[in-house]
Structure 1
Amino acid sequence: MADDKYNLKNPAVKRILQEVKEMQSNPSDDFMSLPLEENIFEWQFAIRGPRDTEFEGGIYHGRIQLPAEYPFKPPSFMLLTPNGRFETQTKICLSISNHHPEHWQPSWSVRTALVALIAFMPTNPNGALGSLDYKKEERHALAIKSREAAPRFGTPERQKLIDEIHEYMLSKAPSVPQFSPLEFSEEDPANKDGEFQESSQGAGIVHSQEGHPNPALGERITNEIQEVPADANPSPAGGGALREVSTSGSSDHILPPRAEMRIQKSADDRLFTWAAVGLSIAILVLLLKKFMKSSGHGAVFMDGS
C-alpha cells in the first residue's frame, strides 16, 4: 500500500487504512475486499451467495467508491457479476449508499456494507433502484456461472486485484452445491425460520466466518440498514429516520436487555420496600410491648385478667 502518497493525519485516510488492516487481519470466508494499490478510496470486493438460497455457491464481484469525506459521507456500491438480484455496473440504492446520505452512520464500514449486501441477496427488491427480480432457476444458473471466471472491469491494476480476490474466494469454497434449482421452496424466505426479513426496510441474516448465522450481528444490521425503494422520500431526520424491524415480522416492540434489567430492578426495589415496612412495624410492636411491661402496665393487665 502506497501510504506515502496520502496525508496520514487526514481522518478519511486514517479510517480507510484502519479498515484495510482489519480486513487483512480478520478475513472472512463470506467476503473479501481491498483497495487499489494506487487509490485507497476505490475498493474491489467479492461476496459469497448466502447458503440455502438460489445464490449459494456464487461469487459476486463489485466496486466500492469511498468519498473524500469518508466516514462522514457514505460510499457508492455497484455489482460487476451478473446475479439476477442487482443490476451490474449500476449504483445500488441502499441506506448504506450515497443515494440516501441522510441514513448513513459513520460507525458503519466496508465490512458492514458487505455483510448487508449478503443479507439483501435473497430478499424482494420492492422497486429499489438497481434491483432485479429474476426467477430462482435463473439466479442459480448465474451463481454457478459466476465461479468460472472473474468479471472483466477497468484497468489492468483493477483486473489484477479482482482476479486475486476471485482466487481467494474459490480457495475458501472450491465445490459447487449439488442440488437442483427445482428443489428451492417457493415459500417466502422471510417466513423460513425467521432467517430473512423480506421488506423495504431490509434483511437480517448474517453469517460468521464459518458460514453459520450470527444472530447478534444480524439483529443489529436488521435494525440499522435498509434497502430503500426507488420512490422513497429522504428524511430530514438523518440517521434517526431508520426504523426498527423485527426479524419475526411482528410489530411488537421487544425490550432491550437494559430495559428488562430496569424493570426487574424496580420490582426488586418494591419488594424490598414492603419487607422493610413490615420489619419496622414488627420492631415497633416489640418496643411498645417492652415499654408497657417496664412501666408496669403489663402487671395491671395481668391482674385485671
Structure 2
Amino acid sequence: MAEEKYNLKNPAVKRILQEVKEMQSNPSDDFMSLPLEENIFEWQFAIRGPGDTEFEGGIYHGRIQLPAEYPFQPPAFMLLTPNGRFETQTKICLSISNHHPEHWQPSWSVRTALVALIAFMPTNPDGALGSLDYKKEERRVLAIKSREAVPKFGTPERQKLIDEIHQYMLSKAPPIPQLPPPQPSDENSSDREAEAQTSPENADGVVAPIEEHPNPQPEPRIMEDVHEVHVNANAGPLQVSFSAGFRLSREVPEAGPSEQLQRADARVQVSADDRLFTWAAVGLTVAIVVLLVKKFLKANGYYMDGL
C-alpha cells in the first residue's frame, strides 16, 4: 500500500494504517478484513459463522465504510453473502454501526467490530433494520453455499480483494458439519407405527400373522358388607343394652362391559337379601337378650311367672 498517497498527519488515516498493520501481523481464523488500496476508508471483510449455530462453517463477506471522522464516529456495515440473518447490500443496524453513534467508543476498531458482528449472527433480529429471520434449516443451506459462491461486487479491484480474503478463510475453515437427517414428524411416525402393527413383515417379505392377546382376566375384589344392630331391652328396674355387628366378606370379580347391565339388575336383589338378613339378625339378637334377661332375673329372685 502506497502510504505516501495519504496525509499521515490526518488522525483518521493514521489510525486506519495502524489497524491495517495489526490485521496483517496478527491474523485471525474467525475473520479477515483489508482496505482497498485506492481507498483505505473502504474495507472488504469476511467472517466465519459462529460454531454450534446454524451459521457454523459459513464464510460471509461484507463491506465496511469508515467515516472521515474515524475513530470518533462509527463505521457502516453491509453484508454481501446471503446468510438468512442480515439483508445483503443494505446497511445493517447494530449497536456498533453508524445507526447508533451514541454507543460507539473511539477505542473500538475494525477488529472489535468484526468480533461483535460474529456475536450478533445468532441473536434474535427483533425487527431491526436490515435484519432477516430465516428458519435454521434455511440458514444451514446458505452456510454451505457460502463456501462455494464468492459474492460479486463492485470494481475488479474490489473483486480481487474479495477473492483473496475468501481463499484465506477457506484455508482456515474446518470441514463444514454434516446436516442431521430430517426427523419424521409425530404424525408420520404414528402412521408408520400403525402400518407396522397392521401389516408386519419378516425378513423374507412374508406377512406375519398378527398375534391376538386375550383380554386378561380381572382379579377378584374383596367386598365387605357390615351390618350393625343396636337393641335396648327394659325389664322393670333393669335395663339391658346390647349391640351386635356382622361382617361378611365375599369375592366380587371385576365386571366387564358386558356384565354391567346384569350387575345393575342384580343390585336390587342383593339389596333385598341384605334387608332380610338384617331383620333376621335383629330377631336373633332380641331372642338372645330376652333369654339373658330371664336368666338374670331368675338368678336374683326377680323371676315372675309372666316372663
Q: Distance between the aligned counterparts of 1:181 and 1:46, measured in 2?
A: 29
Paired residue type of 2:129: L
1:131 is aligned to 2:134: no
Determine the structure 2 residue equivalent to 1:51: 51
Gaps of 5+ in 1: 184-305
After TM superposition, give the deviation of residue 174 of structure 1 in Å: 5.1
After TM superposition, give the deviation of residue 104 of structure 1 in Å: 1.1
Conserved in 2, the CA contact under 8 Å of 1:76 and 1:91?
yes
Determine the structure 2 residue equivalent to 1:140: 140
Q: Distance between the aligned counterparts of 1:63 and 1:131, measured in 2?
A: 16
Q: Tell me the TM-score normalised to structure 2 length.
A: 0.58
After TM superposition, give the deviation of residue 79 of structure 1 in Å: 0.2
What SS does the corresponding residue of 1:146 show, helix, strand or coil? helix
1:40 is aligned to 2:55: no
After TM superposition, give the deviation of residue 31 of structure 1 in Å: 0.2
Q: Tell me the TM-score normalised to structure 1 length.
A: 0.59
Q: Deviations over 1:186-232 (max 9, x none)?
A: xxxxxxxxxxxxxxxxxxxxxxxxxxxxxxxxxxxxxxxxxxxxxxx
After TM superposition, give the deviation of residue 181 of structure 1 in Å: 7.5
Q: Distance between the aligned counterparts of 2:34 and 2:110, measured in 1?
A: 10
Q: Which has the higher strand share?
A: 2
Gaps of 5+ in 2: 184-307
Conserved in 2, the CA contact under 8 Å of 1:125 and 1:131?
yes
Q: Distance between the aligned counterparts of 1:182 and 1:27, measured in 2?
A: 38
Distance change (3 Å), C-alpha of 1:117 and 1:181: farther
Determine the structure 1 residue equivalent to 2:10: 10
What SS does the corresponding residue of 2:140 show, helix, strand or coil? helix
Paired residue type of 1:35: P
Q: Distance between the aligned counterparts of 1:74 and 1:49, measured in 2?
A: 23
Determine the structure 2 residue equivalent to 1:180: 180
1:107 is aligned to 2:111: no
Provide the alpha-carbon RMSD of the alignment. 1.2
Conserved in 2, the CA contact under 8 Å of 1:58 and 1:147?
yes
Determine the structure 2 residue equivalent to 1:64: 64
Conserved in 2, the CA contact under 8 Å of 1:136 and 1:181?
no
Determine the structure 2 residue equivalent to 1:121: 121
Conserved in 2, the CA contact under 8 Å of 1:140 and 1:181?
no
Q: Distance between the aligned counterparts of 2:108 and 2:129, measured in 1?
A: 21
Distance change (3 Å), C-alpha of 1:144 and 1:181: farther
Q: Deviations over 1:253-289 (max 9, x none)?
A: xxxxxxxxxxxxxxxxxxxxxxxxxxxxxxxxxxxxx
The total of aligned residue pairs comes to 183
Q: Deviations over 1:84-127 (max 9, x none)?
A: 00000000111111111111110111001100110011110011
